[in-house]
Chain A
Amino acid sequence: MLEDIVKSYLIDNKGKDPALFDNPDLLVSELKLDSLDMVEMLFEIEDRCGFQLPDPMRYAQMHFSAMLADIEQAIREHNNGELPAFDLQATSH
């Protein structure tokens, strides 16, 4: 679900090719996101989970799957180990 939110945002708002995400070894750097793109993308998650993800620029060095795992871990740490159900639709912009 977390993956769906991020992928949908990147495809719908940043014009990324959906085929990019078929690659299991996809690097975040291959998405060619600048720093503003990166924080915009993370806001899609932050807006739903209610806290700021720390140090977003470190994701630029990660695999896409590792970034998602890292984000999920951060969310679970804020929710007693649980991963809340997020609406695919953003709450506000």
Chain B
Amino acid sequence: MTNVLITGMGAISPLGADRRQSFAAALAGRCAIGRAAPDIAQWLPQVLTAPAAAEPSSLLDPRCAGLDRATQFALVAANEALCDAGIAAHPDDARRIGVYVGIGFGGAQTVDALYARLQQTLRDNGNPAVMHPLSVPRMMANAAAAAVSMQYGLHGPSYTYSVACASSAVAIGEAFRAIRDGYLDAAVVIGAEAMLTPGAMLAWNALRVMAKPDADDVSRSCRPFAKGRSGFVLGEGAAAIVLESETRARSRAQAALGEVCGYGCSSDASHLTAPSSEEQVTAMRQALAQAGLEPGDIQYLNAHGTATEAGDVVETASIRAAFGAAAERLAVSSTKSMHGHLIGASGILEFVLSVMAMNAGALPPTATLDEPDPRCDLDFVPRTARHDCEVSAIMSNSFAFGGSNVSLVARRHD
């Protein structure tokens, strides 16, 4: 087995057009949440969204204009991560490099546009059979993986994981395993999501899990672990990392941004949406055990922290159970307070921010935590970032509808 290093990272998120902008905004406690666009607000005037800080198509070759928005996000993040890692298209060992993607609802924009066109065609007494021939390739869940593997000529396995909010965390974990166990030498891992569309937002609204607008400051409406929390805000974007065996990275003298060293995963097998503490604890303990770390070795944990009534209380209890006495010294934050919930992309975006926090010794806050829920009694880094911290290892949690729990551990690689 080999060590698995992080040699590149990228992001396009509500907080910034790249990973450095995103991290700087997170440290500044800037909340990128606002009222939904008119096409959504006409039906859901109270709904909030966290749109990406940049239009992905503006950062890509014009030939990418026809791709689904989630695929465009994926390409932007992958371009940054691969550039960061110094990996160009068509590498000599292309068969040893895989593409691992996590996405919750692939092709949401294409599907919404398809039904909007169908409705309009029927209203106009037109022929609904005339539909764009690329509709299926655009909406298929593995469209992003296909686009990245084709653009970079990567011939290793091209996998897509759709595990709701844990999708891209699973993608990181599975790529980590494949490299650690010698099936691959490197992988591009991407999480992407783009479903700020009328159809998707109507569906999410029906679940009654969306945050209500804050009367004083709409941007501060998502309040994980706070007494007055009311739910999450959907965001969009993508993040990417390049994972590489230590041998491959050393052979080309590529510096590492960290090492992925622990991956825990479990399933609640109990309820479609309600979380289970027992299995969250299992995932965290598995990740720690695989990393060979004790709870006290982790200094920062990026919580799933969705700001739902049940989710935050259960996760707090789970962290306490997994970390024991070390929970008192653990800094925990939910960056969803700022960038919203990117569903399939949330796990990897939060992992990227966590690795950057580890390297910078600066912890992004739970920016909107003015008054904590007494049941959520950990150090949630309230309101402002914490600087000059010694961070040698981080954990990132992703807990999904459907009961999938994933915890990832990374440590410094100096």
A and B are partners in one complex rather than unrelated chains: yes
Report A's interface with B, CB cutoff 8 A: 13, 36, 39-40, 42-43, 46-47, 50-52, 92-93
When chains A and B are docked, how far (Å) is the Cα of A50 from the Cα of B133?
14
* Between-chain CB contacts (< 8 Å), 22 pairs: A13-B63, A36-B133, A36-B134, A39-B133, A40-B133, A42-B133, A43-B132, A43-B133, A46-B130, A47-B130, A47-B132, A50-B126, A50-B127, A50-B130, A51-B127, A51-B130, A52-B129, A52-B130, A92-B117, A92-B132, A93-B66, A93-B132
Q: Are A51 and B129 in contact, CB atoms less than 8 angstroms apart?
A: yes
Task: Enumerate chain A residues within 8 angstroms of B126, measured Cβ to Cβ.
Answer: 50
Which among B126, B129, B132 has the highest number of chain A CB atoms within 10 Å? B132
Fill in one digit per residue for B359-396: 1 if any A CB lies within 8 Å of its CB, else 0: 00000000000000000000000000000000000000
- Tell me the nearest residue of chain A to B63, going by C-beta: A13
Task: Enumerate chain B residues within 8 angstroms of A50, measured Cβ to Cβ.
Answer: 126-127, 130
Task: Enumerate chain A residues within 8 angstroms of B117, measured Cβ to Cβ.
Answer: 92
Task: Enumerate chain A residues within 8 angstroms of B137, measured Cβ to Cβ.
Answer: 36
> 6 closest pairs, A vs B, by CB?
A39-B133, A46-B130, A50-B127, A51-B127, A52-B129, A50-B126
Q: How far, in Å, is A45 (CB) from chain B's closest CB?
A: 10
When chains A and B are docked, how far (Å) is the Cα of A25 from the Cα of B137?
34
Task: Enumerate chain A residues within 8 angstroms of B134, measured Cβ to Cβ.
Answer: 36, 40
Q: How far, in Å, is A27 (CB) from chain B's closest CB?
A: 22
Q: How far, in Å, is B318 (CB) from chain A's closest CB?
A: 46
- Tell me the nearest residue of chain A to B131, going by C-beta: A43
Task: Enumerate chain B residues within 8 angstroms of A42, measured Cβ to Cβ.
Answer: 133
- Tell me the nearest residue of chain A to B121, going by C-beta: A50
When chains A and B are docked, how far (Å) is the Cα of A39 from the Cα of B134?
9
When chains A and B are docked, how far (Å) is the Cα of A46 from the Cα of B134?
14
Task: Enumerate chain B residues within 8 angstroms of A47, measured Cβ to Cβ.
Answer: 130, 132
Q: How far, in Å, is A84 (CB) from chain B's closest CB?
A: 14
When chains A and B are docked, how far (Å) is the Cα of A36 from the Cα of B127?
21
- Tell me the nearest residue of chain A to B66, going by C-beta: A93
When chains A and B are docked, how far (Å) is the Cα of A43 from the Cα of B133?
7
Task: Enumerate chain B residues within 8 angstroms of A13, measured Cβ to Cβ.
Answer: 63
When chains A and B are docked, how far (Å) is the Cα of A1 from the Cα of B66?
24
Task: Enumerate chain B residues within 8 angstroms of A52, measured Cβ to Cβ.
Answer: 127, 129-130
Task: Enumerate chain A residues within 8 angstroms of B130, measured Cβ to Cβ.
Answer: 43, 46-47, 50-52
Q: How far, in Å, is B366 (CB) from chain A's closest CB?
A: 41
With A36-B134, A40-B133 already in contact, 12 other A-B pairs whose C-beta atoms are closer than 8 Å: A36-B133, A43-B130, A43-B133, A47-B130, A50-B126, A51-B129, A51-B130, A52-B127, A52-B129, A52-B130, A92-B117, A93-B66
- Tell me the nearest residue of chain B to A12, going by C-beta: B62
Task: Enumerate chain B residues within 8 angstroms of A43, measured Cβ to Cβ.
Answer: 130, 132-133
When chains A and B are docked, how far (Å) is the Cα of A50 from the Cα of B117?
12
When chains A and B are docked, how far (Å) is the Cα of A52 from the Cα of B126?
12
When chains A and B are docked, how far (Å) is the Cα of A47 from the Cα of B124?
14
Q: How far, in Å, is A92 (CB) from chain B's closest CB?
A: 6
When chains A and B are docked, how far (Å) is the Cα of A5 from the Cα of B132?
16
Q: How far, in Å, is B140 (CB) from chain A's closest CB?
A: 14
Task: Enumerate chain B residues within 8 angstroms of A40, measured Cβ to Cβ.
Answer: 133-134
List residues of B (95-154) whose CB comes within 8 Å of A's CBs. Answer: 117, 126-127, 129-130, 132-134, 137
Q: How far, in Å, is B64 (CB) from chain A's closest CB?
A: 12
Task: Enumerate chain A residues within 8 angstroms of B66, measured Cβ to Cβ.
Answer: 93
Task: Enumerate chain B residues within 8 angstroms of A92, measured Cβ to Cβ.
Answer: 117, 132
Q: How far, in Å, is B397 (CB) from chain A's closest CB?
A: 39
Which among A13, A39, A42, A50 has the highest number of chain B CB atoms within 10 Å? A50
When chains A and B are docked, how far (Å) is the Cα of A39 from the Cα of B117?
19
Q: How far, in Å, is A13 (CB) from chain B's closest CB?
A: 8
- Tell me the nearest residue of chain B to A92, going by C-beta: B117
Q: How far, in Å, is A11 (CB) from chain B's closest CB?
A: 13
- Tell me the nearest residue of chain A to B137, going by C-beta: A36
Task: Enumerate chain A residues within 8 angstroms of B127, measured Cβ to Cβ.
Answer: 50-52
When chains A and B are docked, how far (Å) is the Cα of A88 from the Cα of B210?
43
When chains A and B are docked, how far (Å) is the Cα of A51 from the Cα of B125?
12
- Tell me the nearest residue of chain A to B117, going by C-beta: A92
Fill in one digit per residue for B339-376: 1 if any A CB lies within 8 Å of its CB, else 0: 00000000000000000000000000000000000000
When chains A and B are docked, how far (Å) is the Cα of A39 from the Cα of B137?
13
When chains A and B are docked, how far (Å) is the Cα of A92 from the Cα of B121?
12
Task: Enumerate chain A residues within 8 angstroms of B129, measured Cβ to Cβ.
Answer: 51-52
When chains A and B are docked, how far (Å) is the Cα of A42 from the Cα of B129?
14
When chains A and B are docked, how far (Å) is the Cα of A36 from the Cα of B130?
15
When chains A and B are docked, how far (Å) is the Cα of A93 from the Cα of B137?
13
When chains A and B are docked, how far (Å) is the Cα of A50 from the Cα of B126?
7
